[in-house]
Amino acid sequence: MQTVKIGNVEIEKTAALAPMASVADKAYRTICKQFGAAYVVSEMVSVKGLYYSDNKTDELCHISDEERPMAIQLFGDDPLYFKLAVEKIEKYTQSIIDINMGCPVPKVAGNGSGSALMKNPKLAAKIIEATALAAKCPVTVKIRSGWDFDSINAVEIAKIAEESGAAAVAVHARTKTQLYSGKADWEIIRRVKNSVNITVIGNGDIVSAEDAKRMYDETGCDLVMLGRGTYGRPWIFSQIKSYLESGEVPPEPTARERMDILIRHAEMIVADKGERRGMAEARKHAAWYMKGMKNAAAFRNRCGTIETMEDLKSLICEALAE
């Protein structure tokens, strides 16, 4: 299997897990790693929250050895706070620091962070430079195609990232205004790859092993990254690896196998966060795992009432009996 380097970090050239707020927690990253994710990125971490030692922010940074190589993703709009945050997270010994310049949600972009930084290239450059100078590990930047269809500037921002010290740029091939709708324009990824000498990661509309291979072929990117295509399907990483190695895609797990994976995943969430909070967060995952099963709509609706592991196991027994 080929590898790709981000700075001095070597990563298998298969597929990476994208950073996803309220989804890509420690348990999610770990189960995706167990199924072959080559590289994972944390949920968004506020640079100001880190600096002021917010407990919830601190929790987002905890890394297990099983997750490595992995990145902690930072967001904010002030170069000074990025520098101070980098100094704060040295103790977590992350492999890479990723800067979020792609989040489109109003509470982030509306405050000048995330994808809003693509409208302010000078500030983006200062943030990347401050982070790269302070960090003892490689720094990457996650961007979008642009703010909207009238301001597609991923190539410009990627060049700025390279000039400012970033070791890689990940491109979600949608604009901020698209959010997660419409079709990702992979041509943007190809243009970025042809414009910079740093590692380029492609992201957007990969929901199968064939999609991953096609993105590699069509864009020339160095690594592909999956987000929503992993929902309830962490085994997609093993399918991608197999397809890239042999041209064969392993079959989808049986319903029983899927439910066994769901239980394992839920147990990991509970072990990390306790049953009450863990099961509240497991509800959406349970609904995703049950997608496509017989009478799935009814069972997925009932996932919203799960409070204990026993509740989940009882629901799974009913679903499998169908």
Q: Point out the catalytic residue in the list 32, 61, 103, 137.
A: 103
Amino acid letter, 174? R
Neighbours of 284 (CB within 10 A): 16
For the chain, what is the radius of gyration of the CA atoms?
19
Instruction: Say how far apart CA 178 and CA 173 lie, in whole Å.
Output: 10
**Backbone phi and psi for residue 32, each to the nearest 5 degrees, phi listed first:** -65, -40
User: Does the active-site annotation cover 61?
Assistant: no
**β-bridge partners, 142:** 100, 170
Q: Where are the alpha helices (DSSP H) in 115-208?
A: 121-134, 154-163, 186-193
| Parallel, antiparallel or unpaired: strands 9-12 and 3-6 | antiparallel
Contact 36, 238 (CB under 8 A): yes
Among 24, 34, 14, smallest CA distance to 246 is for: 14
Residues recognised as catalytic: 103
